[in-house]
Structure 1
Amino acid sequence: MADAHAEGRGLFHRITGGVTERVVGVIDPDIVLEQVDVNAVLDRIDADALLSRVDMNALLARVDVNALLDRIEPDDLLDRVDPDRLLARVDVGALLARVDPNELMARVDVAALLARVDPNELMARVDPDALIGRVDMNALLDRVDLNALLAKVDIEALLADVDLEALVRRSGVPELVAESTNQLAGSALDLVRRQLVALDVVIDRILNRLMRRDPDAQPVGPPLLQVAPAVEPAVARRGGARLSVSGHYAGPVTRGVAAAADVAIITTSYTLGIAGLAFLSGIFFGSSLDDLSGRGPLAVATLAVWAWFYSFGSHAVAGRTLGKGIVGIRVVGADGSPLSVRQAFVRTLVFPLSALLFGLGFLMILVQREHRALHDLIAGTSSVYDWGERAAEMPGPLSAFLARQSA
């Protein structure tokens, strides 16, 4: 009985299997799937229960990851990702807590990384002002232990690589010191010059009174050197500035001090020169120069020749000797034109004439309206105040006094 029942079931399965194969062969699966509501089917599936029955390890072991990645288009995938939502779901603290920075940096080739970075391009994209503006410098310095920082600095090694000489030159300190020294020396020299000018002016006004001359009618300088006053009389009256005397005829006191300075320079340079020649003559020739270093006629004649060349050469080249340059006067033509070589030669040649007859030629500087000596009249020259790049000035009180007298 059981065998008959089993045989019946087998026959039924064979019949239904054959029918199913014929139906599947005839029916189009696409037509069937179109009639299926996939969403309704998925709604009836318990995804959690389904996944709990899946062996993920076995599943992943059968997946070819490389082939899978080859079939994925990264750009399309990233376009569909919302970075904000993704980052919102990431616990950054927990993520960083699981990262070992030391191990991470150990695996990074810093040199290779920096070699791929263009510093210029990186700095071009950085706004230093904005970056520094965001830094609280006070808070930063408060957190820095300057003593500990300086203790770690090898000052000697640091200075060993510094070219201090070049650093000083680039800082302009030598020029600053030189300029300050020059200004200090120039200020002291100008102070002395102003006092000499003041004495000239006072003596000139006294002599004009004695000779009953109108001070305002006297010529102040050669025509070519006459310019408008550097300071308005009203300003000088208030004591706010000094009157300029650049290009005015030099007075007797200034010219006398210049002559005394030149005499000292001539005698000193002659003495040193003769001493040097005597020393060299004794070494190379075994003889001395007693005739030149004594007070004999030869010594006097040699000194006179040296004085003549000193005066002529200085006037021909610069229009002034060293002594005149110190007190701030210059020799020019009678009309104010630059001194020519011919005028310098004639002036030096006839200079001794002013010393004749008890120095009457020099006394003409006091009484002559243009303060010209005899040798100036013969050579057609005159001496004027000239302090180079700076204006020749009278002292402030004297400037204010003269301004009030002319008001």
Structure 2
Amino acid sequence: MSQTNLKTLLLLTTCISFPALAFTPTPDPGPDPETPSTSIANGRYVLYNQNSGKAMTVAGGSKEDGANVIQQDYSGQDYQQWDVSSLGSGYYSIRPAHSGKSLDVWEWNASDGADARQWTYLSGENQQWQISSTGNGAYSIISRYSGKAIETFENSTANGANIDLWNYWGGPAQQWKFTLASAAGGGNGGGDGGNNGNTKGATCTANGSVTVTETIVVSGGVYDGGCKVFNPTSALGDGGQAEGQKPVFRVENGATLKNVIIGKNGADGIHFYNGGTIDNIRWTDVGEDALTVKSKGDVTIRNITGVNGYDKFMQINAETNLNVSNCVVDNMGKFLRQNGGTGFTINVNVTNCDISNMKEAVFRTDSPTSTARITNSRLRNAGQLCYGSWKSCTSSNITSF
């Protein structure tokens, strides 16, 4: 029986009247997209379909906008791994590890049968997802835009079967198991120098060098540094604590910067304007700050290593939902600091990180509306966890090392 016919049969059977009973049964509408669940920790996952046991996969490992999303036997490829990050208010981005793009409701189609594809992350509601427990170790994935659920088409168990969206009906084809990539087995995947989720920190080995005399602007799209060492000159600053130094990179308008080593003169690191992503970045010697959020926008940071900074590793000067995963940060004043004396809201989620030798604290703010959370991480000599007037600052599954 096809999935469409099965759904029709379910609807017909639930509408049969029974005169001896004083009610008419109503089908379970499933999760309410207006009351999101917050049950998944940030991290890199393999998403297994409950019906088929196969993994959500970007077809052919394509990195192009519009590439289709299918199910396939899991073989450890990074295009079968998904970075799940909280956006606040209970919603998540779900982004394929190999491309940094996003699981997307194709062409803003709100109808049953709409395709799920990958597209450059633009933070629209068609790229925001409610993840809700179905009570059996699996989860539904509901589009914030359409209220429909990610499923395998027609209950298929075949490799290559399409993944689309349909009105929630609760069957196993609409249920997904989230397994951390580090625990999923399979191979280590292909990739472009990035971390596959099995280790923390950046993985680049130096592959040549670039002298930087003016800030490199990355505006939209992806800039792949090829694991070269980018050495700022004194034109950007001296890497000390003086204010007003220039960044080595300016990432803006949702762009992605990846596979970069910043040399010993870190200048003012990386600046974000209007959101963006960095992936597989190493700071050899942090300058004034490793990175600064300069204007409002969602920021994703993954697979990074930074050492030897006198003050802050991250400076936050504007509203943001900041998601950090797979990081190693050592010998700083603070891991993160919201601009002093400000009251705007930031929401920080950190997972799978090693943070050590912080002189003051992990998180610091003066804003009573901001939140921070760190999970599945290790701390050593890290000072206070939460310093200042946080609305909420919490941790779970934290160990020492």
Using structure 1 for the length normalisation, give the TM-score: 0.21
Using structure 2 for the length normalisation, give the TM-score: 0.21
Query: Is the strand fraction higher in 1 or 2?
Result: 2
Structure number with bigger Rg: 1
